[in-house]
Amino acid sequence: MRQFLRRLVSGLLLTAVATPALAQSLYHVARVVDGDTVVLRGLGTVRLIGIDTPETVDPRKPVQRFGQEASAALRSMIGGRDVLVEYDQDRTDRYNRTLVYLYLPDGTFVNLEMVRQGFAHAYVKYPFREMARFRAAEREAREAERGLWGNGEGNGALSAAAIQTRPSTARVWVNTSSGVYHCEGTRYYGQTKRGAFMSESAARAEGRRPAGGRPCG
């Protein structure tokens, strides 16, 4: 009997770990701040897990290329609607924003859809359980040249093929905190708190992305 109870408790614990808790209540989207940050009524400012979009509201930076499009895409998807919230292992980021996965009532996975449609990069600096799916979605978007990975017609984006295959020996400064690299002569070249110099090709090989989406070499 004791062994049976021990196995039963162990099985319940494993099930609890393997099955993430999904909030049963819906939150109303009060405001879309930008492509990866929204304000939910009753929860406050939340950051979408696993994605990163160009800046549009940081007062220290100019509006980045494709930032407005990313914000508009998220606003079109969830603005003024109710969304279902799910959490991962980390509940807040360093700015004390709540980290969330968002779902529409029809099951649409908002975070993943932003990456799949090419409006966001997969943000893989910190581990999260959906990382493999997000990486795959970004590869799909690159190969299809969607959004950020487009051919530059109308939005100034560089094609995925050009980014990934064109060799470059340009010396870049990698912000090791954000994973973004900066070209020589630009504002943050050698100026971020944490970083390292390397060739642009080496930076790309490590999965770093160019600031503003434009390679140097």
Entry pTM:
0.59
Out of 149, 179, 200, a domain closes at 149
Q: Is residue 185 part of a domain?
A: yes
Domain assignment present for 156: no
First to last CA, the chain: 70
Q: Which residues are catalytic?
A: 47, 55, 97
Name every residue whose Cβ is closer than 8 Å to that of residue 205 and which is 6 or more positions away in sequence: none
pLDDT digits 0-9 by tens, 90-107:
999 888 889 999 999 999
Task: Return all residues near 104 (Cβ < 8 A) that are at least 6 apart.
Answer: 77, 78, 81, 83, 84, 110
Residue 86: is its pLDDT beyond 60?
A: yes
123 & 174 share domain: no
Interval 4-33: pLDDT, tens = 445 544 444 443 333 344 544 789 999 999
Query: Does 54 fall in a domain?
Result: yes
Query: Model confidence over 160-184: pLDDT tens digits?
Result: 333 333 345 678 888 888 888 888 8
Q: What is the 3-state secondary structure (H, E, C) of 102-161?
A: EECCCCCEHHHHHHHCCCCEECCCCCCCCHHHHHHHHHHHHHHCCHHHCCCCCCCCCCHH
Same domain, 200 and 104: no
Domain that holds residue 177: 166-213
Distance CA 183, CA 214 (A): 9
103 lies in the same domain as 185:
no
Distance of CA 7 to the CA centre of its chain: 40
Domains in the chain: how many in total? 2
Q: Please tell me the distance from the alpha carbon of residue 153 to that of residue 171, in angstroms, as a whole number.
A: 28
CA separation, residue 49 to residues 17, 130, 167 (Å): 19, 9, 31
For residue 185, the SS3 value is: coil
Q: Answer yes or no: do 28 and 125 share one domain.
A: yes
